[in-house]
């Protein structure tokens, strides 16, 4: 696990040493991704430069140092990630007499040997792992960027500057690109709209104009002769999901569980490969408990496990995690989160996430990473189980809601919606409180007015996809909040991939796998963990597991209202049902109460109307109305406000960084366009 950065194109220097100084400057911004070593390589004649920061996990010797050249000398690579089957790839190379004289044991060297023997696409198609890389082909004078199938590892890129001074920048994090003097810092208001809606900015978009995220499962090639990036797909999630659903597993349920356990056991075992201490995050839920159980089944010593707890009711799973750890015999450590932790972390979030990102579970994710790093260098996680095995409650809820409402004529539904929103939230909530004693427990809801108004917003949805978008959106009309904002189409809003043959629940699962998982969940975990120089691995994202999960009939995922049925059967072989079977909680935090309490002063500063008006990104009237309603307790706007606060905090940090540069000058005296 590492980080890298580089550039292709004209970057004039007054002295030879300035090129290395610039690479070091870019690399130093991502020191946290690779504190163990650094390496730099450049070819001034062709305008290509690669910088690398190393977090040593496999082959800690100098033989694993990067950037690394292939034995033929044709390819030079900067690589971030792990190839779990690289030893099998070496065997294939040896058997085909295509192997070089091996210099070390690193998977980077294996990739380079594969490039020489099979080409870049042929090698990547063989690889099982998580990765991002930049490789320069000295023969073709072409730069290729690559990213893993689901998007565990990040990779940003884009041209900056104009004409002969244009530079193609690329790297693991935006801060490395910003360190180059050609970077233009032009904020994309459409990307702000996306962040307001989702809490994240989905690929290929980034917060900056001209800078994109490489889409998962893709390779990109660019050269001075062909500056327009050429994007090719070597693995398509949409195609694999539709193909799996069209050709379902034909065995019995027992056989399906056997195959699934075997695949997961193999994936977990492969991801336990490390020359440094290793552990796992454990929430006590189905996904993380399965990963830990399969780890412990393959370990001769207690696995180190880590969990986060909350004192607030409705958020704490630490007791469940402790019970699972006790049953499996792991070496367990836990930390209870308090508001003071949030106050101490909030100022760090923007440097960690590098662009506006507002999934509030970023707070406990950082804390559990910080906790784990005190004991291990690698930690496995249970992410992706929900997307693969139908775990989110919203899948069933949305499907049932659509089944209920879509039979009614759309004009009538929209008329009813206007009637509901015509009565204030406060009035609905008061009525619900008066009626509560007369209603069964299942029909009593806190903040009933909020829920009715949100329900009214989706009642007029013309399709299931539109209904789902409404339910997963924070701001339903972000362009009305963002001044001069125009929201780009995404896979959830007008640019959906072809998902032929999938039913409603399957469509929601597929869209989450293509958007929410890589752009929210995996970003959250990668940045939080890597800020602590901790490598995280996700066994459920072994592409063989992903593809088999999509071959499972839906009845083996959702059975009699019980989600993750097949996965539960695997877990029950290792952990008693009584320790696992309970309502799903998720990895939430009491952010709404914290905004009214210990974080209130911070909120007041960032949401001050005069400040918002001066900065010119948001409608200050609409924003202040929501803040006052939330602060008073009349409404719960926690998610909408957290989105804005994370942007405001990010903007403040960028302004501070720019002032420091203006006051002290840049560290590298390179000509800028």
Surface-to-core class of residue 95, CB atoms within 10 Å of its CB (0-12 exposed, 13-18 middle, 19+ buried): exposed
pLDDT surpassing 90 at residue 179: yes
**Whether the bond into 204 is cis, omega within 30 of 0:** yes
Per-residue pLDDT tens over the stretch 438-496: 767 655 666 677 777 777 777 888 889 999 998 899 999 999 999 999 999 999 988 88
Q: What domain range includes position 243?
A: 238-390+509-579
- End of a domain among 467, 502, 537? 502
Over residues 176-204, mean pLDDT: 97
Q: 434 and 494: one domain?
A: yes
Q: What is the SS3 string spanning 573-642? A: CCCCHHHCCCCCCCCCCCHHHHHHCCCHHHHHHHCCHHHHHHHCCECHHHHHHHHHHHHHCCCCCHHHHH
pLDDT at 661: 54
pLDDT at 587: 54
Over residues 538-543, mean pLDDT: 98
Distance of CA 461 to the CA centre of its chain: 28
Residue pair 234/215 in contact by the 8 Å Cβ criterion: no
* Rounded Cα gap, residues 116 and 74, in angstroms: 8
Residue pair 85/127 in contact by the 8 Å Cβ criterion: yes
Between 414-423, 489-498, 633-642, the lowest mean confidence (pLDDT) is in 414-423
Q: 398 and 492: one domain?
A: yes
Between 57-61, 188-192, 307-311, 548-552, the lowest mean confidence (pLDDT) is in 57-61
| Sheet strands (E) in 92-172 | 129-137, 142-147, 156-160, 167-171
| Cross-strand pairs, 459 | none
Q: 47 and 162: one domain?
A: yes
Band (pLDDT 50/70/90 cuts) for residue 174 is very high
Q: How many domains does the chain have?
A: 4
Distance of CA 284 to the CA centre of its chain: 21
Q: Which are the catalytic amino acids?
A: 2
Band (pLDDT 50/70/90 cuts) for residue 655 is confident
H-type alpha helices, 85-186: 86-95, 107-126, 174-178
Token pair of 340 as six digits: 């003071």
Over residues 122-149, mean pLDDT: 98
Backbone angle region of 314, left / alpha / beta, with phi > 0 → left and psi within -120 to 50 → alpha: left
Q: What percent of the chain has pLDDT over 90?
A: 70
CB atoms within 10 A of CB 637: 23
Residue 672, domain member (yes or no): no
Residues 388, 515, 523, 86: what is their CA dihedral angle, to the nearest 10 degrees?
Answer: 60
Q: 177 and 310: one domain?
A: no
pLDDT at 341: 78
- End of a domain among 189, 217, 235? 235
pLDDT surpassing 80 at residue 311: no
Band (pLDDT 50/70/90 cuts) for residue 668 is very low
* Rounded Cα gap, residues 578 and 524, in angstroms: 31
Residue 671, domain member (yes or no): no
Over residues 212-238, mean pLDDT: 96
Domain harbouring 574, CATH code: 3.40.50.620
Q: What percent of the chain has pLDDT over 70?
A: 93
pLDDT at 314: 57
Q: 315 and 464: one domain?
A: no
* Rounded Cα gap, residues 600 and 252, in angstroms: 56
Residue 673, domain member (yes or no): no
pLDDT at 561: 85
H/E element holding 281? strand 278-281
Q: 559 and 633: one domain?
A: no
Residue 379, domain member (yes or no): yes
pLDDT surpassing 60 at residue 72: yes
Round to the nearest angstrom and report the end-to-end CA distance of the chain: 33
Residue pair 187/209 in contact by the 8 Å Cβ criterion: yes
* Rounded Cα gap, residues 178 and 182, in angstroms: 8
Domain harbouring 82, CATH code: 3.60.20.10
Burial 170-181 (b: 16+ CB within 10 A, else e): bbbbbbbbbbbb
Q: 247 and 278: one domain?
A: yes
Residue 584, domain member (yes or no): no
pLDDT at 588: 62
Residue 669, domain member (yes or no): no
Q: What is the DSSP string of 205-252?
A: --SBTT-EEPPTTEEEEE-SS--SPEEEES--HHHHHHHHHHS---S-
Place of tokens 């889409």: 215
Over residues 138-153, mean pLDDT: 97
pLDDT at 625: 96
Q: 173 and 25: one domain?
A: yes
What mean pLDDT is reported for the chain?
91
From the list 286, 492, 510, 503, the residue with the least C-alpha distance to 388 is 510
Band (pLDDT 50/70/90 cuts) for residue 313 is low
Q: 528 and 438: one domain?
A: no
pLDDT at 664: 42
* Rounded Cα gap, residues 221 and 205, in angstroms: 18
Angle at CA 477, nearest 5°, toward 470 and 484? 150
From the list 1, 223, 215, the residue with the least C-alpha distance to 106 is 1
Q: 454 and 497: one domain?
A: yes
The whole-model pTM stands at 0.92
pLDDT surpassing 70 at residue 669: no
Q: Which DSSP symbol is given to 521?
A: I
Mapped onto helix, strand or coil, the DSSP state of residue 503 is coil
Q: 50 and 157: one domain?
A: yes
Q: Which DSSP symbol is given to 14?
A: S
Between 119-128, 318-327, 430-439, 642-651, the lowest mean confidence (pLDDT) is in 430-439
Residue 461 CB contacts under 8 Å (≥ 6 apart), including other chains: 402, 405, 467, 470
Residue 135, domain member (yes or no): yes
- End of a domain among 579, 606, 640? 579
pLDDT at 584: 60
H/E element holding 423? none
Q: 161 and 246: one domain?
A: no
Residue 670, domain member (yes or no): no
Mapped onto helix, strand or coil, the DSSP state of residue 400 is helix
Per-residue pLDDT tens over the stretch 326-377: 999 999 999 988 777 777 888 889 899 999 999 999 998 999 999 999 999 9
């Amino acid at each position: 696990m590492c980080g890298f950065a580089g550039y292709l194109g004209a970057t004039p220097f007054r002295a030879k040493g300035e090129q290395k100084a610039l690479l070091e400057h870019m690399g130093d911004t991502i020191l946290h991704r690779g504190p163990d070593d650094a390496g730099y390589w450049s070819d001034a004649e062709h305008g290509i430069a690669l910088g690398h920061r190393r977090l040593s996990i496999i082959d800690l010797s100098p033989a694993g140092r990067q950037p690394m050249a292939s034995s033929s000398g044709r390819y030079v690579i900067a690589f971030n990630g792990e190839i779990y089957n690289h030893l099998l790839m070496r065997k294939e190379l040896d058997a085909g007499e295509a192997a070089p004289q091996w210099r070390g044991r690193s998977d980077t060297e294996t990739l380079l040997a594969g490039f020489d023997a099979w080409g870049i696409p042929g090698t990547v198609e063989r690889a099982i792992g998580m990765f991002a890389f930049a490789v320069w082909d000295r023969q073709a004078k072409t730069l290729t960027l690559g990213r893993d199938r689901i998007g565990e590892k990040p990779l940003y890129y884009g041209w900056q500057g104009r004409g002969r001074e244009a530079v193609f920048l690329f790297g693991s994090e935006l801060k490395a690109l910003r360190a180059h003097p050609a970077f233009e810092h032009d904020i994309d208001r459409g990307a702000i709209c996306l962040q307001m809606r989702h809490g994240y900015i989905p690929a290929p978009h980034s917060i900056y104009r001209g800078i994109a995220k490489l889409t998962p499962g893709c390779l990109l090639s660019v050269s001075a002769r062909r500056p327009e990036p050429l994007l090719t797909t070597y693995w398509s999630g949409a195609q694999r999901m539709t193909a799996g659903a069209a050709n379902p597993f034909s065995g019995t349920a027992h056989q399906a569980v056997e195959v699934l356990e075997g695949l997961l056991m193999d994936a977990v075992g492969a991801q336990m490969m490390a020359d440094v201490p290793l552990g796992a995050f454990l929430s006590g839920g189905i996904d993380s408990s399965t990963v830990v159980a399969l780890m412990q089944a393959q370990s001769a010593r207690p696995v180190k496990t880590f969990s986060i707890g909350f004192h607030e009711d409705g958020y704490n799973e630490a007791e469940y995690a402790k019970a699972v750890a006790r049953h499996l015999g792991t070496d367990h450590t836990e930390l209870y989160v308090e508001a003071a932790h949030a106050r101490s972390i909030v100022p760090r979030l923007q440097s960690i996430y590098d662009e506006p990102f507002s999934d509030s579970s970023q707070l406990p994710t950082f804390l559990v990473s910080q906790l784990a790093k005190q004991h291990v260098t690698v930690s496995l996680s249970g992410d992706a189980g929900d997307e693969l095995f139908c775990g989110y409650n919203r899948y069933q809820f949305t499907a049932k809601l659509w089944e209920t409402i879509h039979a009614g004529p759309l004009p009538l539904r929209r008329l009813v919606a206007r009637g509901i929103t015509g009565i204030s939230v406060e009035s609905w909530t008061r009525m619900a409180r008066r009626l509560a004693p007369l209603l069964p427990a299942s029909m009593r809801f806190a903040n009933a007015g909020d829920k009715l108004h949100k329900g009214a917003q989706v009642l007029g949805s013309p399709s299931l996809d539109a209904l789902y978008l409404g339910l997963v959106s924070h701001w339903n009309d972000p362009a009305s909040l963002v001044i001069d904002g125009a929201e780009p189409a995404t896979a959830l809003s007008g640019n959906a991939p072809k998902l032929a043959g999938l039913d409603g629940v399957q469509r929601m699962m597929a869209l989450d796998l293509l958007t929410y998982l890589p752009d929210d969940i995996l970003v959250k975990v990668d940045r939080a963990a890597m800020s602590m120089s901790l490598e995280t691995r996700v066994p459920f994202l072994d592409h063989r597991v992903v593809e088999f999960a999509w071959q499972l009939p839906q009845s083996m995922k959702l059975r009699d209202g019980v989600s993750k049925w097949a996965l539960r059967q695997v877990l029950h072989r290792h952990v008693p049902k009584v320790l696992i079977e309970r309502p799903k909680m998720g990895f939430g935090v009491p952010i709404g109460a914290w905004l009214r309490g210990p974080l209130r002063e911070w909120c007041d500063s960032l949401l001050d109307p005069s400040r918002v008006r001066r900065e010119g990104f948001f409608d200050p009237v609409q924003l202040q109305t929501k803040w006052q309603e939330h602060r008073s307790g009349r409404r719960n706007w926690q998610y909408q406000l957290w989105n804005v606060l994370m942007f405001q905090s990010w903007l403040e940090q960028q302004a501070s960084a720019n002032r420091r540069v203006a006051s002290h000058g840049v560290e590298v005296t390179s000509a800028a366009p």
